[in-house]
Amino acid sequence: MTRLAFLSPDNAAPGVALVSPLQHALGEGVADVSHLGKLELRGPRDAVEPGPGEELLPLSPTRALLVTDGSPARARERLHGDGLRVYDMTAALAACEVEGEDVLRRLTELDLERLPAIGSIARGTPAIIDRREGERFRIFVPQELGHHLVEVILDTLRGLGR
């Protein structure tokens, strides 16, 4: 077992209901993917091989975020074995997906052709933005600002007549 067990929501007992930071914010056009496992890796990220259902988002030459839709516990064990320091950020980051370059252009100054990238969204909220298939985008923000972000996204969608 990796250290800092109290960081990982999946260490909670089976009866514990885990709550998304976006639970009260959601509306049509925004999909909540906050449940995804998110592990911050410190160390040489070139050595990391993402497994099935995993994606590696580089944050700096020595930092990366591994996003997994599988078991964060297994990923933690594996990566720890690779000599990396692993910090479970699953609960730290809210994550959502939205459709449309026009929406993103109103939310962030980041170049949408050069994603994933770290930048600011919705006027100063720090974010990691990744491009999925086509015009679908995945946005990670600090969970304490997740509700705010979804409010801004929904307002932006209204402004675009959606």
Partner 1 sequence: MRLPKQPGERIDRETAVSFRFAGAPVSGFVGDTIGSALYAGGRRVFSRSFKYHRPRGLLCCSGHCPNCLMTVDGVPNVRVCVEPVREGADVRAQNVLGSLDRDWLSVVDRVGGPFTPVGFYYRTMIRPRRAWPLYERLLRNMAGLGRVPAEHEPRRYDTEHRAVDVLVIGGGRAGRRAAARAAGEGRSVLLVDERGGSDADGYRVLAPARAIGIYEGGLVPIDAGDLLYRVRATRIIVATGSLEQPLVFPGNDLVGVMLPGAVRRLVDEWAIKPGECAVVIGADERGLDVTDQLERAGVEVAAVLDLRASDPRRIAAVGGGGRVRAVEIDSTERLPCDLVVVSGGRQPAYSLLAQAGATVDYQPRKGIFVPTNLPPGIEAAGSAAGAAEESAAPRASYDAGKGDRCFVCVCEDVTEKDLERAVAEGFDSIELAKRYTTVTMGPCQGKLCHVPSIRLLARATGTDEDAIGTTTARPPWAPVELGLLAGRHHEPMKRSPLHFRHEQAGASMMWTGAWRRPFAYGDVEAEVRAVHERLGVIDVSTLGKLVVEGAQAGELLDRLYPNRLSDLAVGRIRYGVPTTDGGRILDDGTVARLHGDLFYVTTTSTGSESVCEWFEWWNAVWGYEAEIVNLTGALAAINLAGPQARNALATLTDADVSNEALKYLDARELAVAGVPCLALRIGFVGELGYELHCPASAAEHLWDALVAAGAAPFGLEPQRILRLEKAHVIIGQDTDSESNLLSAGMPWILKLDKDDFVGRFAAELIRERDLGERLVGFTLPAPTLPAEGAQVVIDGRPAGRVTSARVSQRIGKTIGLAWVPPQLAENGAEIAIRVDGSLARASVTLSPFYDPDGERLRS
Q: How many chain residues interact with partner 1 (CB under 8 A)? A: 52
At 151, which helix (H) or strand (E)? helix 146-159
* Pair 121, 160: CB distance under 8 Å: no
**Closest CB to partner 1 among 67 and 122?**
122
**Closest CB to partner 1 among 67 and 152?**
152
Position 124 contacts partner 1 (CB under 8 A): yes
**Closest CB to partner 1 among 17 and 52?**
17
Residue 126 CB, shortest distance to partner 1, in Å, is 10
Please report, as residue ranges, which positions from 96 to 115 form the binding site for partner 1 (by CB under 8 A).
Answer: 102, 105-106, 108-109, 111
- Tell me the chain's radius of gyration from C-alpha atoms: 16
Position 83 contacts partner 1 (CB under 8 A): no
Among 19, 27, 81, 136, binds partner 1 (CB under 8 A): 19
DSSP of 123-138: TTEEEEEEE-STTEEE
Residue indicated by tokens 């990366």? 64
With a CB cutoff of 8 Å and minimum separation 6, the contacts of 114 are: none
Position 17 contacts partner 1 (CB under 8 A): yes
Segment contacting partner 1 (CB under 8 A): 46-54, 66-74, 132-140, 146-154?
A: 146-154
| Alpha-carbon distances of 94 from 2, 82, 114, 118, 159, rounded to whole Å | 23, 27, 22, 15, 23
Position 135 contacts partner 1 (CB under 8 A): no
Cα–Cα distance, 11 to 37 (Å, whole number): 13
Tokens at 25, concatenated: 């914010």
Footprint on this chain of partner 1 (rule: CB under 8 A): 3-9, 11-21, 23-24, 34, 40, 42, 85, 87-93, 102, 105-106, 108-109, 111, 122-125, 142-145, 147-148, 151-152, 155-156, 159
